[in-house]
Amino acid sequence: MENNNNDALQRINRVLFADGDSQSQYDMHCQLLQTKSYVNYFSLASGTQSIYRHPKLHIAPDEQIISINPHLGGPLKFFKQQANSACQIHVFEERNHQFANLCRNIALWRIQDGITPVCAAAWSASGLHTTKHDGHSGIVYVPQIVSVQQCPADEIGAVHQAYRLDDYLATQRFHPTLIECGRPGIASHIIRGAEHTIKSTKPKLLLVDSPWADWLGLVKQWVPEYQVYYHEAGRRKAAAFLLTL
């Protein structure tokens, strides 16, 4: 059944891509995954960071950026360099130790001007987010649970504050021109928590997810004029999607 769903999403997603390179990389990536074979870095410009240099992304000095889980801060450094340090960034990281490392790097790189660090997740409708462990993946979402006492004990490794992006932005004088996340597996939750923002301000979206992402069609319904670009980026089970006007 899962393979049938993937095949259907592959057909649906492919027609959304704006250029032949995206379609070609997508076809190759899906074929390799479906046959359980893989050749590392087959993409035209390998490596996750290369998607940030896509000509359609173009970070301008007046950009207002939402960055979610940028690991140790590499994307923030790149955005600042591209914008001559003038862009504004709100960055989300819910894991305390990772948040501390991120803030340290922001200070060491002297890019703190215009950056607002937020120690919270950015993909929950309930204000609560739990993980089975506090590592890079293994996320367990609890969209209906409002207290830790209601969460099964074997699903709690750590509990973090979380926001829907629409709710967070309603409290800020900030209108994002780019929403970016390089962490696989949470793009669908980010998208659904930012529906109003996407419809009203139509920011660029740069998200890493499974090739068979189920949110692409939904976003195209909200904003039909989005152009979609695909970048395999050297990842075996995930790739980068860029949506821009």
Q: Look up the CATH number of the domain holding residue 119.
A: 3.40.50.150
Strand 115-118 with 88-92, pairing: parallel
**Domains in the chain, number:** 1
Q: Is residue 64 part of a domain?
A: yes
Quick one: tokens of 100? 């501390």
Q: How far apart are CA 195 and CA 180, in angstroms?
A: 15
Q: How far apart are CA 123 and CA 161, in angstroms?
A: 10
- The answer to whether residues 26 and 49 touch, using CB atoms and an 8 Å cutoff, is no
Q: What is the arithmetic mean of pLDDT over 187-198?
A: 93
pLDDT tens readout for residues 120-166: 888 765 555 555 444 433 333 334 333 444 555 555 556 677 888 99
3-state secondary structure of 91: strand
Is 8 a residue whose pLDDT tops 90?
A: no
Q: What's the domain range around 21?
A: 17-123+162-244
What pLDDT was estimated at residue 135? 41
Q: Is residue 82 part of a domain?
A: yes
Among 57-71, 118-132, 136-150, 221-235, which stretch is predicted with the lowest mean pLDDT?
A: 136-150
b/e code 56-83 from CB counts within 10 Å (16+ = b): ebebeeebbbbbbbbeebebbeebbebb
β-sheet bridge partners, residue 130: 140, 159
Q: Is residue 46 part of a domain?
A: yes
pLDDT tens readout for residues 30-47: 888 887 766 655 555 444
Longest dimension (CA), the chain: 51
Q: Is residue 128 part of a domain?
A: no
pLDDT bin (cut points 50, 70, 90) of residue 115 is very high
DSSP one-letter code for 238: -
Among 64-73, 80-89, 225-234, which stretch is predicted with the lowest mean pLDDT?
A: 225-234
Q: Is residue 37 part of a domain?
A: yes
Q: Is residue 134 part of a domain?
A: no
The set of residues, in sequence order, having a beta carbon less than 8 Å from that of 86 and lying 6+ positions away, is 61, 62, 114
